[in-house]
Amino acid sequence: MTYANLFRLDGRHIVVVGGGSGIGREAVRALAAHGADVTVADRDVKGAAETARLAQEEPPAPGSRTGTATPYELDVLDAEAVRAAAAAWGAPDGLVVTVGANVRKRIVDYTLEEFDRVVALNLRAHFALVQAVAPAMAERGSGSVVGLASMRAIQVEPGQSVYAASKAGLVQFLRTAAAEWGPRGVRFNAIAPGVVRTPLTDQIAADPEWYDAYAQASALRRWAGAEELAGAVQYLVSDASTFVTGSVLTVDGGWTAVDGRYEPTV
Establish whether 211 is a catalytic residue. no
Torsion angle in degrees (nearest 10) through CA of 138, 142, 147, 152:
100
Q: Which of 163, 214, 235, 262 is catalytic?
A: 163
What distance in Å separates the CA atoms of residue 220 and residue 216, rounded to the nearest whole number? 8
* Among 127, 101, 110, 92, CA closest to 43: 101
* Among 94, 113, 134, 59, CA closest to 235: 94
Enumerate residues 6+ apart whose C-beta is below 8 A from 169. 119, 122, 123
Partners of 97 in the beta sheet? 17, 147
Amino acid, single-letter form, for residue 73: E
Residues with catalytic function: 163
